[in-house]
């Protein structure tokens, strides 16, 4: 598709997404300026990121390091500037790579990963790396993410508190906040499969409140995607991660 046609397509989608955010904020009694858009561009080409930047998008999310590293380099070579959010599950052996290009890592869910990122940021950056702690709303270890231990039901109603200190949210928050090259910004969460989004984000609210009581600087809540941004905004999301509604269906476009 020629760049002009693709840019027009992205511009139309961007208007629709921003209107959804505005309507959601209005329904929740919030200022539309309080919710930021993160365009999730996984599987899409660097040219799309450049076009989105030209359209005023400032924040871009990726979930695989190999793709993200190459794309960040290509976008920089094209002269575009965006804030890169790493939003996928991250292995510690990828910390060095991610620290080179990411401005925000949204998927920190263990003490070991926080330590690896701090060390990597010290080697490859001249400023701290912004961090969001990924929360597991239902406590499922397979999906990763931290859990607020010791408060049954705060993240997963009716679930027993996990015992693994590696995934203890407040321990991770304390470690990130005290790290020299990390900056604690807040939380990230995904509504679990099979859960109504409103129920999921309502359950998340107790975890958000507890973290902010301990760390008032942790003001960011990245929650909500194409299918549930309205529910996320209603429950306090400050950032929504939008892919399909902005860039189109991946299996049709690519």
Question: For 192, which DSSP code?
Answer: P
In the chain, % of residues over pLDDT 70 = 92
Nearest to 183 by CA among 82, 238, 102, 80: 102
Q: Which residues of 74-84 are buried (b: 16+ CB within 10 A; e: fewer)?
A: ebeeeebebeb
CATH of the domain at 210: 3.20.20.10
Q: Which domain holds residue 24?
A: 3-253
Q: Is 107 helix (H, G, I), strand (E, B) or coil?
A: strand
| Number of domains comprising the chain | 1
pLDDT tens for each residue of 141-175: 777 899 987 544 444 444 454 458 899 999 999 99
- Where does the pLDDT of residue 34 fall: very low under 50, low under 70, confident under 90, or very high at 90 and above? very high
Q: Give residue 205's pLDDT.
A: 92
Nearest to 211 by CA among 132, 140, 103: 132
CA distances from 194 to 95, 118, 190, 198, 200 (A): 31, 35, 12, 12, 10
Q: Give residue 163's pLDDT.
A: 52
Q: Is the pLDDT of residue 246 over 90?
A: yes
In the chain, % of residues over pLDDT 90 = 87
Mean pLDDT for the stretch of residues 81-107: 97
Mean pLDDT for the stretch of residues 98-114: 98
pLDDT tens for each residue of 116-129: 999 999 999 999 99
Tokens describing residue 172: 């991770």
- Where does the pLDDT of residue 1 fall: very low under 50, low under 70, confident under 90, or very high at 90 and above? low
Q: Give residue 144's pLDDT.
A: 81
The per-residue pLDDT of the chain, averaged, comes to 92
pTM above 0.85, yes or no: yes
């Amino acid at each position: 598709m020629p760049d002009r046609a693709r840019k027009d397509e992205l511009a139309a989608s961007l208007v629709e997404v921003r209107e959804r955010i505005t309507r959601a904020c209005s329904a929740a009694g919030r200022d539309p300026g309080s919710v930021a858009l993160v365009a999730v561009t996984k599987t899409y080409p660097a040219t799309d990121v450049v076009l989105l930047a030209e359209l005023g998008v400032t924040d871009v999310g990726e979930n695989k390091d190999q793709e993200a590293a190459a794309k960040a380099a290509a976008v920089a070579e094209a002269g575009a500037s965006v804030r890169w959010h790493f939003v996928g599950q991250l292995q510690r052996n990828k910390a060095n790579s991610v620290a080179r290009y990411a401005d925000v890592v949204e998927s920190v869910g263990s003490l070991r990963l926080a330590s690896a990122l701090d060390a990597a940021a010290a080697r490859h950056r001249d400023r701290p790396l912004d961090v969001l702690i990924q929360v597991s709303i239902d406590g499922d270890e397979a999906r990763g993410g931290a859990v607020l231990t010791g408060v049954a039901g705060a993240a997963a109603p009716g679930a027993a508190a996990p015992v693994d200190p590696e995934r203890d949210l407040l321990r991770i928050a304390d470690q990130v906040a005290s790290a020299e090259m990390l900056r604690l910004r807040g939380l990230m969460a995904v509504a679990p499969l099979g859960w109504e989004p409103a129920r999921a984000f309502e359950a998340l609210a107790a975890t958000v409140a507890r973290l902010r009581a301990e760390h008032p600087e942790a003001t960011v809540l990245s929650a909500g995607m194409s299918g549930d941004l309205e529910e996320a905004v209603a429950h306090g999301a400050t950032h929504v991660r939008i892919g399909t509604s902005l860039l189109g269906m991946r299996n049709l476009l690519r």
